[in-house]
Structure 1
Amino acid sequence: MASVIRVLLVDDDALVRAGLSMMLDGVGDIVVVGEAGDGREALTAADAHHPDVVLMDLQMPNVDGIAATRRLRSRPNAPEVIVLTTFDTDEHVLDALRAGASGFLLKDTPPARIADAVTRVAAGDPVLSPEITRKLMMRSVTQTGAYERARTALAALTPREHDVAVAIGNGRSNAEIATELAMSVTTVKSHVSSILTKLGCDNRTQIALLTHDADLV
């Protein structure tokens, strides 16, 4: 992770962007490098500013946050995306995570936790608010065949990779996984890379979503 975390703010409310900028800029190693008022502007701003992390609203004109996240995450050297929104329906959560978001927080999240989320996501750890985590755990794993698809996908993993995937689903960091499974952090990172490739996932959050679908956590 770079010593300075470059952040792009995307929200159609200028006051929200101003508040986030004042809150984040200069906190630790976080620097706000740009702003955008909708998803279309976000794509242009990302090209101009090369952010490490994008804080993304969902409901915006022209291109919404889900579409913008999907397009950003499909690019080479894609920035991490944290969805920061007032909407927390199951559909919004799942759509955002499947689009490649590494975090999902509500706008009433305390400022310190938002800053911590930016730091953690930049380091490769997914972040979900407790409210969102509960939603994922409570939703039916059998809907639309998600359970069967997840179980089939995870069957491609080695037993050790399976253990690592379940630990990711439980929200463990690389260091915590290394301690729990008695392996080095380097080995954990190697397993995570292999899991991402085998499952066709973009990030750890999508691995976690699969383990939830498979009813493993």
Structure 2
Amino acid sequence: MSIREYLPMLTAFEDEENLLAAFQAGAEGYLLKTMEPESFLWQLTGMNAGESPIAPHLVKQLPHKFIQYKENTKLHTLSGKNLTDRQQEVLQLLTQGLTYREIAIQLKLKEATVKYHIKELLTKFGLSKRTQLITYTLRNDLVKRK
């Protein structure tokens, strides 16, 4: 998938309503004009790897209202008990807004291994995007919130 196939939102608004509205309108990412250049570039680079770019500190706002427009999406219902310890660790860090690279560094893994785990999780839950996985994970309390 090329960058042109993604429709990320670039905005100055950090509030929950605009975040939700962007995803409802079809945005597949949400980046802020005020992001640090390095973080912004990492998010864009991740698009080529199939990641949905989103400003890391906004990840915590997703579970509040984001899932409402996904109610018609059929998700597999799994409990945290169906996940391996490593999958739990990856999900925990993902929901904290870490990039694949940052997760790999923290867990002392290769970035490709982190991508593999996230791909497995997406398949397990019947999801297609990282933002959906984050939202589903938080909404169903599959990891401890910090």
What range is the shorter-chain TM-score in? 0.5 to 0.7
Counterpart in the other structure of 1:63: none
In structure 1, the gaps of 5 or more residues are: 1-50, 55-78
Higher fraction of strand: 1
Worse-matched range after superposition: 200-209 or 189-198: 200-209
CA-CA distance at 1:134 after TM superposition: 5.5
Counterpart in the other structure of 1:61: none
2:8 and 2:22 map into 1 onto residues whose CA distance is 9
Partner of residue 135 from structure 1, selected from 56, 61, 82 = 61
CA-CA distance at 1:198 after TM superposition: 0.9
**Equivalent AA in structure 2 for residue 216 of structure 1:** K
CA-CA distance at 1:95 after TM superposition: 5.4
- Tell me, what secondary structure is at the counterpart of 1:132? helix
Deviations along 1:98-157, one digit per CA (max 9) or x if unpaired, are: 787442124x446947962423333444433366346347x48xx9xx9xxx9x545343
- Give identity over the alignment, percent: 31
- Tell me, what secondary structure is at the counterpart of 1:190? helix
Q: 1:196 to 1:93 in 2, by over 3 A?
A: same
Counterpart in the other structure of 1:81: 7
8 A contact 2:59–2:96 mirrored in 1: no
In structure 2, the gaps of 5 or more residues are: none
TM-score by length of 1: 0.46
Counterpart in the other structure of 1:180: 106
1:121 and 1:130 map into 2 onto residues whose CA distance is 14
Counterpart in the other structure of 1:72: none
The answer to whether structure 1 residue 193 and structure 2 residue 97 are counterparts is no
CA-CA distance at 1:91 after TM superposition: 4.2
The answer to whether structure 1 residue 216 and structure 2 residue 132 are counterparts is no
Counterpart in the other structure of 1:93: 19
1:201 and 1:100 map into 2 onto residues whose CA distance is 16
- Tell me, what secondary structure is at the counterpart of 1:127? coil
1:173 and 1:131 map into 2 onto residues whose CA distance is 12
CA-CA distance at 1:169 after TM superposition: 1.3
Partner of residue 120 from structure 1, selected from 38, 46, 49 = 46
Larger CA Rg, structure 1 vs 2: 1
Counterpart in the other structure of 1:65: none
Counterpart in the other structure of 2:3: 53
1:179 and 1:111 map into 2 onto residues whose CA distance is 20
Aligned pair count? 133
TM-score by length of 2: 0.62
2:117 and 2:26 map into 1 onto residues whose CA distance is 20
Alpha-carbon RMSD across the aligned residues, in angstroms, is 3.8
2:36 and 2:108 map into 1 onto residues whose CA distance is 35
